[in-house]
Amino acid sequence: MLIWVNLVVLSSFWVLIFSNPEGFLSLSCGGSSYTAAYNISWLSDNTYIETGNTTTVTYINGNSASSVPIRFFPDSRSRQCYKIPMSWKKDLSSVLIRATFVYRNYDSQNSPPAFQVSLGRRITTTVDLRTNDPWIEELVWPVNNDSVLLCLLAVKGRGIPVISSLEVRPLPLNAYRNSLEGSSNIILRRSYRINSGYTNGTIRYPSDPYDRIWDPDQNFAPFHGSSSFNRLTKLTSYNITENPPASVLETARILDSKDSLSYTLSLNTLGDYYIILYFAGILPLSASFDVTINNEVKQYDYSVTSSEVGSLYFTQKRISNLNITLGKIKFNPQVNALEVYEILQIPPEASSTTVSALKVIEQFTSQDLGWQDDPCTPLPWNHIECEGNRVTSLFLSQTNLRSISPTLGDLLDLKTLDLHNTSLTGAVQNLGSLKHLQKLNLSFNQLKYFGSELEDLVNLEVLDLQNNSLQGSVLETLGKLKKLRLLNLENNSLVGPLPQSLNRTGLEVRIMGNPCLSFSSLSCNNVSSTVDTPQVTIPINKKHKKQNRIVILLGVSGGALFATFLVFVFVSIYTRRQRKKERDITRAQLKMQNWNSSRIFSHKEIKSATRNFKEVIGRGSFGAVYRGKLPDGKEVAVKVRFDRTQLGADSFINEVQLLSQIRHQNLVSFEGFCYEPKQQILVYEYLPGGSLADHLYGPRSKRHSLNWVSRLKVAVDAAEGLDYLHNGSEPRIIHRDVKCSNILLDKEMNAKVSDFGLSKQFTKADASHVTTVVKGTAGYLDPEYYSTLQLTEKSDVYSFGVVLLELICGREPLTHSGSPDSFNLVLWARPNLQAGAFEIVDDILKDTFDPESMRKAASIAIRCVERDASGRPPIAEVLTQLKEAYTLQLSYLAAAAHTD
């Protein structure tokens, strides 16, 4: 133990004193620390990487043999990373990272490996040691962080990655950025660094204090200048940001016998390249010439003045060959050095919404999936596929997810979602926001209900629900999925006729292994009633036995008599069942009647009020909402509970109970209900103004009707409603689904909160939170709630904060357009509003709001969406602040009217 501690202390000590010369970091991979020529101190790489085995390999280089340490990675991990620190030297804008890979048959297998190398988020190279051994890779990294990961990424079937050394060299401040667009997001990979006109070996440290390796000019032209060629001035000080060493500039390639001087260089990959030419006036004459790159004149009439130094920078896009030609104008064209780099764009990060959603999902799996850094780059995480920086596929089969968590609804780019065999129970839910989803595999789970969101998956092509516990009949609305090609419902407990909407060409419906499921309605009638509930099947089984006895008893005493008897038996069973059902219902109705004055409707009344469910006006958390008119002329909204089996009678009764206890002018009022077998219907007052979402995102004319003062009024009204739920009613109520489409407007634009389908009540005696399964709408969900499962009123405050941000910015909480950060309204708006950047305020409001009023509203909105629930204000305080903002805007308008 003691020895180990000592080692660690020692090695960090080495980092400090042996990083010689200043700012150099030289790692001997798999070797030990030592000091080499020119006092360059090499360190063992032990403290920079934790994986891999080490060995040494001896190889002959010219007539000297050398022993080279290497580190290789036989374990199956897909990436092996060095964490390279960047903070050890001040004023760094970029560093040169040089990695050397050596195979030299260290394993006696004679099979050189190939693998990829990544730096930060970018894969830079495929190293193929069959073509070069050793392979030297040089990368210019724009320092933007305390550290960067250099990783070796195994390629399947191509052997074990191996590395021999890693050198980091600070480069001159701002070097390699001239005329290079977006340079802070670019890695430069060296293709060529040529010391023109020089043939006697490489030049590096200490001649070049930055330890770049300048290669000799291999394709040496017959006519050339050199350091001995009539040099006038010793080049001591000059002003080029890249600061090439004087010894390199003191030689040049000079025009050959023809009229032009050319370099033709082949490039490994088709790509964009950055080219730097260095010139020094080492001749007594001042030459001038045109610079042509790949037949395009890039610089006309460039002059190299005697004893002066200059440089030219070019970028050349999509090339795989390079021809640099200097065409004579006056005297002999020359070039003293040149560098060519491949330009590698660093890919953008995945959106932070995606990353945090995935992190939460990883928690739900209760496994370490090894999800670190960026999900898509340099390599997608396990279980994930990406397109660019967008996560488009997620495969979590065989994990133990248990339910479809709302976080999945935040992965807006998903095209494929595979959750087969993940112990899912309950309903198919929380996926309605996945508009790009094409394949959804939920097979081999214990899902019971279709839920109401499948119909929103407009791009769905394959829906696999086989081997679940789905009950009841198949959703009519699945027919709305026009792109659906395959619907697999095999091995569920589904009954009844399949909706005709699913009988169409191009759609294959698999239905085997269900009690009774087919397109033809006739064959299923009887069976569907027998499998309805277990209580019903038991008496029929009993009767079966009796029947047998009767058959024996009666013998041949006549088929007709027997048939009559059977009919009698069945009728009496049926009526008994019906009576029992009716008794249950009446009991429930009576119970309900006792609570309140709300009315009980018969299904017939509802049917006639809605003219047979003719006009759909919206969708709530559990089903469609229809417009209706009662005989007394009162207009109502009729909410039909969708998929009756989904929630038992208990939950319906609870909702009715809850609804009938709350009355407030800013809550949509409850008129009554219908509770009959298979009919669970809620009747509300009808609000002709539609929802806030209709106004914010509907046609432009509607948006114009919402000026700043009316938006504040809506906000104040809704806050009043929530305040009543949180503090005014007993028991108190958490709404759980606050969002723009649940805030409705009446004729006078008074706002009312609606849809209590997910609401939960809690008494003051309850603890300060309720632990519960996460429900709600993607984009409005309190992040703390879905990571802790602790529900408090502050979750409503969060969702309401999102509504406030929508009112301010006129944007939906989750969208696809724009940069990755604008995906999420909260993440986008928060920093902008905090900085007082009111440019993000809805265009329609421009120049019509009082800045003070806006500031107040923005500030309360930001506090509502604090990640930490304890940092969010209670709704009462939100209400007070909004009222002040409203008053400010009113006086602003009054003042404006006065000056007019």
Whether 687 and 670 have beta carbons less than 8 Å apart is answered as no
Q: Report residue 495 as tokens.
A: 């009954």
Q: Which residue is nearest to ligand NAG (CB)?
A: 519
Helices 851-864, 825-834: inter-axial angle, 10-degree rounding: 130
| H or E, element range at 72 | strand 64-72
CB of 202 to ligand NAG, least distance (A): 10
CB of 148 to ligand NAG, least distance (A): 8
Exposure class string for 706-739: b at 16+ Cβ within 10 A, else e: bbbbbbbbbbbbbbbbbbbbbeebeebbbbbbbb
Angle formed at CA 602 by CA 599 and CA 604, multiple of 5 degrees: 140
Cα Rg of the chain, angstroms: 37
Of 604, 589, 607, 596, nearest in space to 652 by CA: 589
**CA–CA distance, 897 with 900 (Å, rounded to integer):** 5
Of 781, 663, 645, 666, nearest in space to 722 by CA: 666
Site string for ligand NAG, 58-87 (x = CB under 6 A): ----------------x-------------
Site string for ligand NAG, 126-155 (x = CB under 6 A): ------------------xx----------
Q: Which of 61, 64, 236, 239 binds ligand NAG (CB under 6 A)?
A: 239
Site string for ligand NAG, 347-376 (x = CB under 6 A): --------------------------x---
Looking at residues 260 to 279 of the shown chain, list those that interact with ligand NAG (rule: CB under 6 A): 262, 264
Cβ proximity to ligand NAG, 236 vs 239, nearer residue = 239
Cβ proximity to ligand NAG, 86 vs 770, nearer residue = 86
Q: Report residue 688 as tokens.
A: 């002709």
CB of 733 to ligand NAG, least distance (A): 40
Q: Which of 33, 126, 323, 529 binds ligand NAG (CB under 6 A)?
A: 323
Q: Report residue 161 as tokens.
A: 């990655």
Asked whether position 421 contacts ligand NAG by CB under 6 A, the answer is: yes
Cβ proximity to ligand NAG, 486 vs 600, nearer residue = 486
CB of 290 to ligand NAG, least distance (A): 10
CB of 3 to ligand NAG, least distance (A): 18
Q: How many angstroms separate the Cα of 42 from the Cα of each of 29, 39, 54, 230?
A: 10, 9, 16, 41
**Count of residues in contact with ligand NAG, rule CB under 6 A:** 22
Looking at residues 178 to 207 of the shown chain, list those that interact with ligand NAG (rule: CB under 6 A): 200-201
Return the DSSP state at 335: E
Amino acid at residue number 345 = Q
CB of 368 to ligand NAG, least distance (A): 16
With tokens 């009991």, the residue in question is 587
Return the DSSP state at 522: G
Site string for ligand NAG, 450-489 (x = CB under 6 A): ----------------------------------------
| H or E, element range at 190 | strand 186-195
Whether 269 and 253 have beta carbons less than 8 Å apart is answered as no
**CA–CA distance, 781 with 410 (Å, rounded to integer):** 10
**CA–CA distance, 329 with 297 (Å, rounded to integer):** 13
Of 472, 477, 478, 476, nearest in space to 494 by CA: 472
* Secondary structure of residue 695 in the 3-state scheme: helix
Q: Among residues 374, 737, 755, 842, which one is catalytic?
A: 737
Q: Which of 115, 444, 786, 823 binds ligand NAG (CB under 6 A)?
A: 444
End-to-end CA distance of the chain: 83
Cβ proximity to ligand NAG, 57 vs 653, nearer residue = 57
Cβ proximity to ligand NAG, 176 vs 622, nearer residue = 176
Asked whether position 398 contacts ligand NAG by CB under 6 A, the answer is: yes
Cβ proximity to ligand NAG, 38 vs 570, nearer residue = 38
Whether 849 and 708 have beta carbons less than 8 Å apart is answered as yes
Looking at residues 11 to 50 of the shown chain, list those that interact with ligand NAG (rule: CB under 6 A): 38-39
Total residues found in the chain within this entry: 900
Largest CA distance in the chain: 134
State the pairing for strand pair 25-28/165-170.
antiparallel
**CA–CA distance, 900 with 895 (Å, rounded to integer):** 9
- Give the CA-trace dihedral at 9, 13, 14, 17, to 10 degrees: -170
639 is in an annotated binding site: yes
CB of 518 to ligand NAG, least distance (A): 7
State the pairing for strand pair 439-441/416-418.
parallel
Cβ proximity to ligand NAG, 202 vs 669, nearer residue = 202
* Secondary structure of residue 238 in the 3-state scheme: coil
CB of 398 to ligand NAG, least distance (A): 4
Instruction: Give the CA count within 13 Å in the CB-facing half-sphere of 622.
Output: 24
Q: Which of 58, 446, 503, 564 binds ligand NAG (CB under 6 A)?
A: 503
Q: Report residue 887 as tokens.
A: 């008053």
CB of 582 to ligand NAG, least distance (A): 34
With tokens 């006129």, the residue in question is 810
* Secondary structure of residue 422 in the 3-state scheme: coil
CB of 505 to ligand NAG, least distance (A): 9
CB of 500 to ligand NAG, least distance (A): 6
Asked whether position 226 contacts ligand NAG by CB under 6 A, the answer is: no
CB of 747 to ligand NAG, least distance (A): 45
Cβ proximity to ligand NAG, 295 vs 768, nearer residue = 295
Cβ proximity to ligand NAG, 150 vs 869, nearer residue = 150
Cβ proximity to ligand NAG, 145 vs 345, nearer residue = 145
Helices 649-661, 559-595: inter-axial angle, 10-degree rounding: 30
Does the active-site annotation cover 146? no
Q: Which of 41, 325, 473, 742 binds ligand NAG (CB under 6 A)?
A: 325
The 3-state DSSP composition of the chain as helix, strand, coil percent (nearest 5) reads 30, 30, 40
Looking at residues 568 to 607 of the shown chain, list those that interact with ligand NAG (rule: CB under 6 A): none
**CA–CA distance, 793 with 799 (Å, rounded to integer):** 10
| Phi and psi, residue 442, nearest 5° | -120, 20
Asked whether position 247 contacts ligand NAG by CB under 6 A, the answer is: no
* Secondary structure of residue 153 in the 3-state scheme: strand
Looking at residues 290 to 309 of the shown chain, list those that interact with ligand NAG (rule: CB under 6 A): 292, 295
Q: Report residue 123 as tokens.
A: 């894969």
Please give the residue ranges that form the binding site for ligand NAG (CB under 6 A): 38-39, 53, 74, 144-145, 200-201, 239, 262, 264, 292, 295, 323, 325, 373, 398, 421, 444, 503, 519-520
Positions at the binding site:
639
- Catalytic (active-site) positions: 737
Annotated binding-site residue numbers for ATP: 639
